[in-house]
Every structure is written in C-alpha cells, then in structure tokens.
Amino acid sequence: MGMSPRVILVLLLTVCRCPGTWGGDARCTVEAGGRKQTGEVMSGGSYYSQDSMTLHFGLGNAEKIDRIEVRWPSGLQQSWTDVAANRTLVITEGNETFQASRWARP
C-alpha cells in the first residue's frame, strides 16, 4: 500500500490596510480533513529583526481546505471555503479575494 503525498499549504499574510500595522498579530485558522490549526503572525521580534509574515500549515492527506478564517488586528474577520491545497495564498485585509499560486514540490 503506497503512502499518499503530504499536502502543504503556505499562507502569506500581507501588509494590512489599517494604519500603523503590517499584518502583525493577525490570526489565521485553517480547517481541513477534520482538523483545525491556528497560526498567528506576530508583530515585531527583537532589535533589528522581524518575525516571518508567512504561516505554514500541514494538511496531511486533505486535498482541499474546508475553511480559512483570518482575524485582523483591526477587528475585521474574513473567511473563505473550499480552497485548493498545494497553494501559496496572499491575503490582504479587506479584499474579498486572495492571490493564489500553485505550490510545486521540490
């Protein structure tokens, strides 16, 4: 019996539109294959550094993401359903759509 390929989603939160923030402290929840995962983009870091604005979610054998929900620092909450796996998503606060590009395995 062969193993199914591992499906990975890379979610990139871009600069949000609320003044004085860069998408930091945005929280993203991904539901896929009966599992729920949450990641948070943290603002700041330490002196002369910045935490990554990219969140990575492993989806196991799930072929799609059932639901993605983003809560922005401004209080805005957005969600999308039935999103294809193996994608890099660029989500901007307030946009109803996102940019998606197919993620290729190395």
Tens digits of residue pLDDT in 46-91? 666 666 677 888 888 888 899 999 998 888 899 999 998 888 888 8
Q: How many C-alpha atoms does 91 have within 13 Å on its Cβ side?
A: 29
For residue 2, tell me if it sits in a domain: no
- Percent of the chain clearing pLDDT 90 (strictly above): 23
Distance (Å) of CA 103 to CA 8, 86, 87: 8, 5, 5
CA distance 51 to 32: 26
- Percent of the chain clearing pLDDT 70 (strictly above): 65
CATH number, domain of 23, equals 2.60.40
For residue 1, tell me if it sits in a domain: no
What does the pLDDT read at residue 46?
A: 65
What does the pLDDT read at residue 32?
A: 92
For residue 51, tell me if it sits in a domain: yes
User: Is residue 1 very low, low, confident or very high in pLDDT (cuts 50, 70, 90)?
Assistant: very low
Residue-range definition of the domain harbouring residue 61: 7-102
In the chain, the number of structural domains is 1
Of the candidates 67, 55, 69, 78, the residue with the CA atom closest to the CA atom of residue 8: 55
- For the record, the structure tokens of 91 come out as 């989500």
Q: What pTM was estimated for this model as a whole?
A: 0.78
Cβ of 91: how many Cβ atoms within 10 Å? 22
